Amino acid sequence: EIGMLTALENFEMGLNFMNGTLPSEIGSMTKLVRLELYKNHLGGTLPVELGSLSNLEVLSLYENLIETDINSGFEGDIPEAFGGLTNIKEIDLFFNQLGPKIGDIFSQIQSL
């Protein structure tokens, strides 16, 4: 199970034709600095648990099938919990199926 990789700092699996959804257990990988799963076939919604990765600097999920959770109650299409990504420097979410709103969750992150 991916959540058991708690000491992992870099998880780079772009261009691997992976499908399925992003598991919420990724939130247990608290030492992650880079999470790169671009150009796969990952679908579903962005798990709010990603917001607990306070060491994360790079989040690269572009060219997947990630979509907006219309039942989430979030103001934007990215979970409010992403405000917990206090060290984030780069977020790549383009070419997914997210809506146009991002809310104001990133306005308080000084590393951006």
Distance CA 42, CA 72 (A): 19
Q: Residue-wise pLDDT tens for the chain (112 aa)?
A: 898 999 999 999 999 999 999 999 999 999 999 999 999 999 998 999 999 999 999 999 999 999 877 665 444 567 778 888 999 999 999 998 887 666 666 676 777 7
27-to-20, 45, 90, 95, 99 alpha-carbon distances in Å: 17, 14, 18, 23, 23
Closest by CA position to 10, among listed 79, 60, 48: 60
Sequence-ordered list of residues with C-beta below 8 angstroms from that of 36, at least 6 positions apart, any chain: 11, 12, 13, 14, 58, 60
Phi/psi at 21 (5° precision): -120, 165
